[in-house]
Copies of this chain bind each other. A is one copy, B any other.
Amino acid sequence: MSSAKRKKTARRSPARSAQRIAALAGGVGASKLLFGLYAECDPEKLEIIVNTGDDIVMHGLRISPDLDIVTYTLAGVVDAAKGWGFRGETFRTLERLRAYGRENWFNLGDLDLATHLHRSALLAEGKTLGEAAESIRLALGVQSRILPMSNQPVPTIIESSEGPLHFQEYLVKRRAEPVVRGIHFENVEIAAPAPGVLEAIRGARRIIICPSNPLISIGPILAVRGVREELQARKKDVIAVCPIVGGKSLKGPSDRMLAQLGYEASARGVARLYADFTGIFVIDGEDKSQAEAIRALGMDVAVMPTVMKTPAQKRRLARALLAL
């Protein structure tokens, strides 16, 4: 048997097809781990459920920042330094939009705009957000399915010291400066999980909660009808990677938001939020003193390096998770 044939057989074997992995993801933080997972497992067996709570409409365009960050990362076109947007991006349209007096606090690159135009046009033609995401990831050659948590808009609203703000207004326009007093996911009561979301959780060997903000990246996904219950049913196979190391967020304002809302900005604080559906909680060596307290919440704890700065670190963490 030739090596090519053997390879083909191997890919089709029941053992391989049982290796499905589901991941719950926000944007930049999650994409570091997803980069590693994409490299370390069969990408066609990886299904990624992405937060769409920070989606926003700007200049009439439907923008899905987390879907795009994940897609661009796996397509290898992302601006690695920023973690979002296209590499080599330009902002010519945005400069002219500003000249027309339009808001320009939200970065819209010229290449990125094509994604938003394409998605908006598909939605206007009656396609779903999931179908748009599928079209975009296929065009960019991404082999893993990328699913929005829901096809319905569920905007994350930050109840802040400056009044209610759309999450992007809070994060980008106001640079996470207002004090957070509450968070709600508008219309989440009437939003259904996108087709494939519950099936991905149900059919996966492992479900990985990426190191994203637990409140505004993973939180909205968990709030979608049926998702949390489906995870609870798979508790022993759910692996959550803690986004807080040494009391600080790996990325973004998670630590500040947790503290402002009265949660503990620590690995244990995140563990409490995930305890009902997580089988293995993954913390960095720096937080190993909290392992006992986290185990007491009813989870196994795995301690390993979770800070990912290099591609090698991303792949190493992915490999370690897949071996758990």
Contacts and interface: CB of A to CB of B under 8 A. Distances in A.
Contacts of A90: 90, 92, 110
Nearest to A140: B99
B117 A59 contact: yes
A201 interface: no
Contacts of A187: none
Contact of A117 (B97, B99, B101, B135): B97
Interface residues of A, number: 28
Contacts of A93: 93, 110-111, 113-114, 117
Give the oligomeric copy count: 2
A115 B96 contact: yes
A100 B118 contact: yes
A92 B121 contact: no
A124 B61 CA distance: 11
Contacts of A61: 117
B124 A111 contact: no
Contacts of A92: 90, 92, 110-111
Contacts of A113: 93, 96, 113
B121 A59 contact: yes
Q: Which of A59, A99, A114, A140 has the most CB of B within 10 A?
A: A114
Contacts of A94: 114
A136 B110 CA distance: 20
A60 interface: yes
Contact of A118 (B97, B115, B136, B139): B97
A306 interface: no
Given A92-B90, A93-B93, A100 B114 contact: yes
A305 to B, nearest CB: 37
A102 interface: yes
A191 to B, nearest CB: 23
Contacts of A139: 99-101
A56 to B, nearest CB: 13
A120 interface: yes
A289 to B, nearest CB: 49
Interface string A122-152: 0010000000000110011000000000000
Contacts of A95: 114
A315 to B, nearest CB: 28
Contacts of A117: 59-61, 93, 97, 102
B99 A114 contact: yes
A93 to B, nearest CB: 5
A96 B121 CA distance: 14
A58 to B, nearest CB: 9
Interface of A: 59-61, 90, 92-97, 99-102, 110-111, 113-115, 117-118, 120-121, 124, 135-136, 139-140
14 contacts: A59-B117, A60-B117, A92-B110, A92-B111, A93-B93, A96-B111, A97-B117, A97-B118, A99-B139, A100-B114, A100-B115, A100-B139, A102-B121, A110-B110
